[in-house]
Structure 1
Amino acid sequence: MPESIMAAEMPNAPLDRSPSPASAPPVASAPGPRAAALQKLYNDAINHVLKTCSYDNFAKCFPTPSREVPQSMRQLHEQFNEKLGNQLRSNFEDVLRDRNVVPSLNELDRLVEEAKRRKTRAQEEGVESSPMPNLRPHTLPAAQLYLAHLSPSLAQASQDIQQQQEVTQAENSELLDRVLQQRSEIATLVQGLENVVADLDASVATLKPEELDALREEGRDVDEEMRMVT
């Protein structure tokens, strides 16, 4: 078949393919404005908690050690605050990582900035936005909406902290039982020693003076023999 006839029978197919939609830019792993604000808010809350746990409040829980060894109690208070702050920050970092919070907030920042750029570009090009339906805006405050989004993460963090507190309380109860048992054993031992001393005193009281002198003389002889041997 001649090439001219084949060209006439074939439809005019477009040579250029439609361009594929542009892929979304990668989400930055570094904290954006919202993620940084969330981290700052939590750090401020931790600092407030640690300031509330001042040395004066801490010392009221342990009046006797605070009066007897104040320097050691101050060191213990500093170590307690440092460990508590590190534990709270570590738990918060675990929640951020497990819930993928930072990338999600960064993606929200990107979408908001993209929407602002599109709106600005449309205004510069004179394109009027489509009329929005008459929707009634919600009346919820920003804090309530913010907490509604964070409630699952906060609930999980609260559950983890409660489990740690239960474990710590169980360990403290076991330690208290051990201390009480040791005190009982010490009291029994002291009572036994007091009984032995009382028996010795009673035995000495029943001895006659000449018997006491004989015992002293025998003790001196034994001491002399031991010195000669050594």
Structure 2
Amino acid sequence: MAREEKIRYLRLKQVFDKALNQSISTLKNWEKVSACFPEYASNRENAANLSNCQSQVIEFWTEICKREFEDILKERNVKEKLDELDELISEARERLRNLPRDDHGNGGVPSIDELSSAQLIDCNLYTQRINAAKELDKRLDKLNKINQHLEDKLEQLDCSIESEKKELSCLYDRFIGKSVDTMPDETLAQGLNDMLQELSESQSS
């Protein structure tokens, strides 16, 4: 977009200048100012002093307002945002001009005031369905992550149980399943049998 086409920031400045001039118009009116101090202004020297004060107040008030206005513009990045808005509007107008036209020269996309109540409702419902679908996708993704986490934990637990079962089987073969010179400890044997049975039941469940 050409520089001269970015007019919104310029218009904002013009509106501010107009509002400022209106706000100080009373201060610029000597008749109203002198009417506030009729006795003092009746003397020529005093009137000159009052006129000088009037000029200083106007200058001070104008400077303060302009400074605060400029600070607000910089703080909120107004110029860049308005220039960007000008560019977006210009781009939208250009796209609208490039839309295919019918035999009557009308654009292919109707304006919003040409839509019926039913069409407006359909547009609103479509937007709501799109938003609802996005929200459901987010929830589904969250559930999938939770399920995957649980599945990983179960696999780790299963591997841990299988490892412990193998260790207990080795102990069983070592101390009970094979013939040894001494009789096995019945308490140890029973404990190992109970642990193996418990592991088998937990794994099968």
Instruction: Please identify which structure carries the higher helix content.
Output: 2
Bin of the TM-score, shorter chain as denominator length: 0.3 to 0.5
Q: TM-score, structure 2 length as denominator? A: 0.46
Tell me the TM-score normalised to structure 1 length.
0.41
Higher RCO, Cα 8 Å, sep 6+: 1
